Amino acid sequence: MKVRFMFSHLKKMLSQRSPSAYRFGVALASLLVIPAALSFNSLEISQPVLKAAAEAVSVQKVWANEAAAAAAPAAEAKKDEKKGTEVWAPLAPPKLEAKDYPVVKGFNSRITVWFIAQLHLFFGAFVLAVPIFVWLIELTGVITKDERYDHMAHEFMKVAMTGFSLAASFGGLLSIALVVFYPQFMLYMTGIFGKVMIFYALAFFAESFFLYTYYYGWDKMSDGKAKTIHLSLGLGLNLAGVFLMMVSNSWASFMMAPSGLDDAGVFKGDVWAAINGHLWNPVNIHRFVANIAYGGSLTAAYAGYKFLTAKTAQEKAHYDWMGYTSFFIAIIGLLPLPFAGYWLTKEIYDYSQQMGITLMGGAFAWLFILQAVLIGTIFLSANYYLWCCLARSPGAKRYTFMIKPIAIVIVTAFLAWFTPHTLVMTSKEVTQIGGAHHPLLGKFGVMAAKNTAVNFLIVLTFLSFQIYQRSNKRAVGDDFWATNGTSVQIGLYVAGLANILSLGIYSYYLPASVRIGLSVPQVTTTLIVIVTSFILDGKIFKKSEEMGETQWGNMPVRSQYALFTLTIGFTWLMGLMGYVRSAIRQHWHVYTVFRDNSPDAFTPTLPYAASVVTVIVCVFIALVLFMFWMPMLAAKKGSSGEH
Amino acid sequence: MHFLKPIIGVLVAYLLIKIGVPFLGSLSHPGTWPVVPTAVMKMYLFFIIAGAFVASTFSEEGYNGLIGPIVDLYGNPAKAKLRLGAVAAVSLLGTWVAYQYVKPSFDAPVELRSVHPAPPSSANMWGKSFELQTLKNPFREDKANFAKNVEEGGIVYYKNCFYCHGDKQDGKGHFYSAFNPIPANFVDVGTIAMLTESFVFWRVGTGGPGLPSEGAPWATAMPVWHTMLSEEEVWKAVMFIYEQSGVQPRVTATVAEKK
Amino acid sequence: MEATKKGNSELGKILGYSLFIMLAFVGFAKFGIPLVIPELPPVEEKITGAMTQDQMVAMGDKIFHGKGTCTLCHSPVGGRAPLLDGVATRAPERIKDPRYKGKAKTGEEYIRESMKEPSTYVVAGFGKPGTNDTVSPMPQIDKGAIGLNDVEINAVIAYFQKSSGLPVTVPLPTGAAAAPAAGGAEAAAPKPAATAEEAFNKYGCVTCHKVPGIAEGGDMGPDLTKLASAAGSRKPGMSGEMYIIESISTPNAYVVKGFDPDIMPGDFAEKVTMSEMNLIVKALLGKK
């Protein structure tokens, strides 16, 4: 129904032959060419290269794996039996040697691929996240009939437009780089996922179609039924985006936890089994949630910059509001993120205890101290921004006394969280402590304390948020909730925190295998506190009055720097976690199945990875400036034309 | 004096960690003073200061209260002398910190190591191989001469070991303060009481150089005794330190099952 | 113009601040936490017939602590898996346990089975949560990332047996042909015997024993010409092959009636290479 409606609308629009519609049509057609070409880049161009690589390889007898050779005649026979049905020959992972990895002068294979993949991921994450919340904001605008939401959604989209082509360009570059530097590996991956890769490439057309109709049709389809069509276009854009993300995730998760292979590692043709691996869904969820938080923080940084350079009070107020909304989105993504991370880690343990221990107790144990510092920075800057937001509300004076206690608890929880299990000490300190085990700090090293601390962090961050939400309101109703609701909320928070704490202390004394199970009631407590308290807010302020006008734009400069800290923290952390996700495969292309025998198969050290990540983020920031500069350039031209 | 509040807060937090943590720790491990390691302390302080800064600057009054005096100090012409003092104090602090980093130190470098290394399966002493897993003290079974053997072990101990490990077996012999880490305290339940006799025999026999390569470099001054004492003397000395310190050697499951 | 200038200086400040934060992160990664250098990818260990039994045990030790990644879980830290001190002594008891589900008859077979099918016997308290100790969390050692081959698994078993103080009974690696090629550096080492006769003479067996194929022989030790039929029944549950290997490497493990212990030298495990041991066993069992 909707699709037919949409097409008839488009037809009508184009047949009007009005200049604007004509311009729109041309723009649509010409712009469709770019992503199409880019999608071609990403696969169509690489296919001949792949083929050439395949021929080269067959000469090197990499294919002459015994299992494959033995099974090939059988597959041949099968082909004769059922003509027309597709037949995938069993594919065994090749055994490579150092000479199977091309050396291109001036490039280090691994760092090149690392760079491009990370940049692709940064832009990909951004452009997948933005349409999700743009769509939600647009929907909010339709429901609340508040024009401001619609404008803001449009502006977000404008900011992200250049990001789409950058993401696609890096995607194309990545596949070419992989084929150039790791031809055998790509040959193996296409051997398994070739079928899916075609659909992946095709989905780019859907993505491009929805993207350009959604963005360029924004003003045309602004009300009534047309708005419904516009929203469906946005939904289509998001579905295509999520599809693309899940497909590419399946390759990454296959490399970590291969599935659909038999005991000897031979692929028998069931592509779905290969996609639906043990880590696929945990990675999907984790990336989806993180993308939203990350996309929100990037747009918040954009708004922060615009706020700092705004010339008029009106402009300042607008970008303050935009910054706050972006920040709000980032927090919505941030709060469930630790849980998604815990789930992923748990599944990694379930998939392979060895991989899990390598991750948490082996060479990477110290990386999680660094991760804790980064997450602490993110949480602290998020809370700081929220506290600064109180300056907007004339009624906030009533709550400022709570900020210091909150800060103390957050810092304490955070210190407990990042206390390492193995302490670094001088021999003098060992003598004083009386051994390598610290009687008090040692207790903070285990999961029981860390889970408790992270739940505290989340609950208190939500408390900061709730304080800001109510800072300018006063309940005027006289029913039960309006008069006693706040006391109930206080009781809820106290009981919830006490429960989390006692569960944490109790679980400390349990054996490790039982202890993990107790993190579930802790998380449940956190969720109950957050959800119930949020619902109660609605009941308490059913009838309420503002205590003066919210002063949008009345924000100190340092609050915007909190937003920048948040964004940089997020981006850098994403880069770091990209390193560790890839590095826990150790010397395997596909874990346990396809060994990496390139000279770069060793696992890089943490400071080395941190330096590489920093350089990548610097390049990314430069490109982001370009991305943000594009719409401003367009706006400038537009304004000069009007004069 | 608004700006003093966060500074006092940081100081209180510092003292809590500096003194409170070791105090609480010493309650559960009497006789020790479990300080917070410097490396951890630095990170704690960094985030405590960041937290204090953040918690006192979110509002405009707080920010001005904290930053105002500093701006005043560096900008007010009337406070030239005070400013000079402040600049000097900051410079001196920087100098002191820099000096702490570069001054020569006799401390062993910071290290991560396990307290009881995993023993090898066999050790070579006196030109032959000992299977540590199944090795037993040959004098343990000899009940008739037990007192005599322990006494002979005591002579070996006082001739060789007592200078470091002490008269009371508490690791506080004459030379103990010269060693870092200090000699093992046999009375503590965390040392020989946790180990089998064969493990102690190996540690005595091969000393510091016999420790496994994992966890290296090892900081221990224990000599390689098998080049100086006979096999019998080492066994008797091992028996003596267990007898004298009043703890029982650990019996492994393997040995227990064989009985 | 003014606005652009302001925008640029503001942008400069923001970029400088961002760079500062990132450098702080890198600084912490470099100076704040100790440097851990991840291990290099494991090199495939080659176990050949040219090794002596002791060398094979040492190789098993190396695999156990290295490539096999066993000590990730089988270590006192964390208590994720049972400790393996003296596992070879406990193994025969395990087979008699009513919870045991496998087919092993000897301790050696039990250990091998535990590595290949970890769930046949799960030590109480170490099963996957919720399975009541019926499913083991241990990966199959001959598959996946660890992927030890049979010879490597045998070396690990040999290490367990040796460290438990038991005689080593595992099957010997063949592949003697690979030895000369690999042993270029060890040119000084005596060439391994090529035939059983050579081996018997090289180690002086005929000084005390009568052996098949050689007419002359001493009578200090048992007559070995009839061993082919007797070896299999000397010790219950032990094959003839196992018995012979045990008797050469640990002579006192079983002393034939009428002969004294401690007569035969106990150091053959350190001298006889695996390929020679193979030749000797085959000759004594009458196989060609």
**Could you report the per-residue pLDDT of C28-59, keeping only the tens digit for each?**
888 877 777 777 777 766 666 667 777 778 88
pLDDT of residue C79: 66
Mean pLDDT in chain A? 81
- Contact predicate A614/A572, CB 8 Å: yes
**Of A138 and C240, more confident:** A138
- Count the neighbouring beta carbons within 10 Å of the beta carbon of residue A378: 24
With 60 as the cut, is the pLDDT of residue B214 above it? no
> What's the average model confidence in pLDDT over C152-161?
85
Say yes or no to pLDDT of C246 above 70: yes
Give the number of C-alpha atoms closer than 13 A to the C-alpha of residue A198, restricted to the C-beta side: 5
With b for 16 or more beta-carbon neighbours within 10 A and e for fewer, the A317-327 pattern comes to: bbbbbbbbbbb
Among A67-76, A413-422, B75-84, C249-258, name the one with the lowest average pLDDT: A67-76
Work out the mean pLDDT of chain B and round it to a whole number: 81
CB-based contact, C80 to chain A, within 8 Å: yes
Which of C20, C89, C157 is the best residue to mutate to test the B interface, defined by the most B CB atoms within 10 Å of its own CB? C89
Alpha carbon of A478: minimum distance to chain B alpha carbons (Å): 33
Between A64 and C170, the higher pLDDT residue: C170
Partnered with residue A267 across adjacent β-strands are: A91, A261
pLDDT tens readout for residues B145-162 = 888 889 999 999 999 988
Q: What is the extent of the structural domain holding B195?
A: 122-258
Residue B113 lies in a domain: no
pLDDT at A289: 93
Is C55 in the B-facing interface, judged by CB distances under 8 Å?
no
Mean pLDDT, residues A241-258 = 92
Q: Which residues in chain A have Cβ-Cβ distances shorter than 8 Å to B34?
A: 432-434, 438-441
Partner-chain contact C85 B252, CB within 8 Å: yes
> Which chain C residues are within 8 Å of A607, Cβ to Cβ?
26, 29-30, 35
Residue B117 lies in a domain: no
The pLDDT of residue B217 is 59
The pLDDT value given to residue C1: 52
**pLDDT > 90? residue B73:** no
Closest chain C CA to residue B129: C267
CB distance from C124 to chain A under 8 Å?
no
User: 3-state DSSP call for residue C193?
Assistant: coil
Query: Per mean pLDDT, which range of A13-27, A480-494, B66-80 is the poorest?
Result: A13-27
**Average pLDDT of span B95-111:** 80
Q: Locate B227 and state its tokens.
A: 């080049």
In a 3-state reduction of DSSP, which class is residue C223? coil
Question: Do A410 and A379 meet the contact criterion of CB atoms below 8 Å apart?
Answer: yes
pLDDT at A37 over 70: no
Identify which of B110, B121, B257 has the shortest CB distance to residue C163: B121
Asked if A614 and A118 count as a contact pair (C-beta separation under 8 A), the reply is no
Domain count, chain B: 2
The architecture of the domain spanning C53-163 is Orthogonal Bundle (1.10)
The predicted pLDDT at position A584 comes to 87
Q: Give mean pLDDT, residues A260-283.
A: 85
Please tell me the distance in Å from C43's CA to the nearest CA on chain B.
19
Q: How far apart are the CA of C166 and the nearest CA of chain B, in angstroms? A: 9
Which C positions 241-260 lie with beta carbon below 8 A of chain A? none
Q: Pick from A62-76, A297-311, A352-366, C176-190 the range whose average pLDDT is largest.
A: A297-311
Residue of C nearest to B128 (CA): C267
Confidence at residue C190, expressed as pLDDT on a 0 to 100 scale: 53
Among candidates B231, B175, B244, which has minimal Cα distance to B204? B231
Q: What is the mean pLDDT of chain C?
A: 77
CATH code where residue B175 lies = 1.10.760.10
Stretch A575-594: mean pLDDT, rounded? Answer: 89
B128-145 mean pLDDT: 79
In the CATH hierarchy, which top-level class contains the domain C190-284? Answer: mainly alpha
In this structure, the answer to whether residues B64 and B136 fall within a common structural domain is no
| CA-based nearest residue to A544, from A463, A487, A481, A490 | A481
Q: What is the mean pLDDT of residues A245-253?
A: 93
DSSP A458-499: HHHHHHHHHHHHHTTEEE---SHHHHHHHHHHHHHHHHHHHH
Instruction: Look at A460 and A345; give whichever has higher pLDDT.
Output: A460
Which of A302-311, A503-512, C152-161 has the lowest average pLDDT?
A: A503-512
Q: Tell me which chain B residues have a C-beta less than 8 angstroms from the C-beta of A407.
A: 51-52, 54-55
First to last CA, chain B: 76
C164 Cβ under 8 Å from any chain B Cβ: yes
Q: Which of helix, strand or coil describes residue A121?
A: helix
The fraction of chain A above a pLDDT of 90, given in percent, is: 34
Q: What does the pLDDT read at residue A113?
A: 93
Q: Using CB atoms, pick whichever of A376, A403, A423 lies closest to residue B58.
A: A403
Assembly ipTM: 0.78
Chain-chain contact of C165 with B110 (C-beta, under 8 angstroms): no
* Residue C16: band (very low, low, confident or very high) from pLDDT cuts 50, 70, 90: very high
Helices A280-308, A337-351: crossing angle, 10 deg rounding: 150
pLDDT score of B244: 86
pLDDT band at A641 (very low <50, low <70, confident <90, very high): very low
How near does any CA of chain C get to the CA of B50, in Å? 13
Residue numbers of A between 534 and 563 with CB closer than 8 Å to B: 556, 558
What's the confidence (pLDDT) of residue A87?
57
Q: Last residue of a domain, which of B48, B74, B102? A: B102
Q: What is the mean pLDDT of residues A289-302?
A: 92
Asked if A152 and A322 count as a contact pair (C-beta separation under 8 A), the reply is yes
Mean pLDDT of C245-262: 80
Does one domain contain both B90 and B128?
no
Contact C275/C179 with Cβ under 8 angstroms? yes
Least confident piece of the model among A14-28, B74-88, C152-166: A14-28
Looking at the complex, report in whole angstroms how far the Cα of residue B45 sits from the nearest Cα belonging to chain C. Answer: 13
What pLDDT band is residue A455 in, cutting at 50, 70 and 90? Answer: very high
CA gap B37, A431 in Å, rounded: 11
pLDDT at C94: 83
Q: Please tell me the distance from the alpha carbon of residue A449 to that of residue A457, in angstroms, as a whole number.
A: 12
Radius of gyration of chain B (CA): 28
* Mean pLDDT computed over C210-223: 78
B185 and B98 housed in the same domain: no
pLDDT band at A42 (very low <50, low <70, confident <90, very high): very low
Residue A117 has pLDDT above 90, yes or no: yes
Shortest Cα–Cα distance, A262 to chain C (Å): 11
Crossing angle of helices A606-642 and C2-27, in 10° steps, is 170
Average pLDDT over residues C255-268: 78
pLDDT category at C96 given cuts 50, 70, 90 is confident
Q: Do residues B240 and B202 share a domain?
A: yes
For chain B, the maximum distance between any two Cα atoms, rounded to a whole number of angstroms, is: 93
pLDDT value of residue B77: 86
Q: Which residue of B has its CA nearest to A396?
A: B59
Q: Which residue has the higher pLDDT, B227 or B255?
A: B227
Whether B27 is in a domain gets the answer: yes
For residue B70, the model assigns a pLDDT of 85
Cβ B257–C61 below 8 Å, yes or no? Answer: no
Q: What whole-number percentage of chain B has pLDDT above 90? A: 19
Say whether A589 sits in a helix, a strand or coil.
Answer: strand
- Per-residue confidence (pLDDT) for residue A602, from 0 to 100: 87
Residue intervals in chain C for CATH 1.10.760.10:
53-163, 190-284
Cβ contact C162–B131 (<8 Å): yes
Chain C within 8 Å of B39 (Cβ-Cβ)?
A: yes
Least confident of A274-283, A302-311, A500-509: A500-509
Question: Does residue B194 belong to the interface with chain A, where contact is any CB pair within 8 Å?
Answer: no
Average pLDDT for A47-65: 42
What confidence category does residue C180 fall into, taking pLDDT thresholds of 50, 70 and 90?
very low
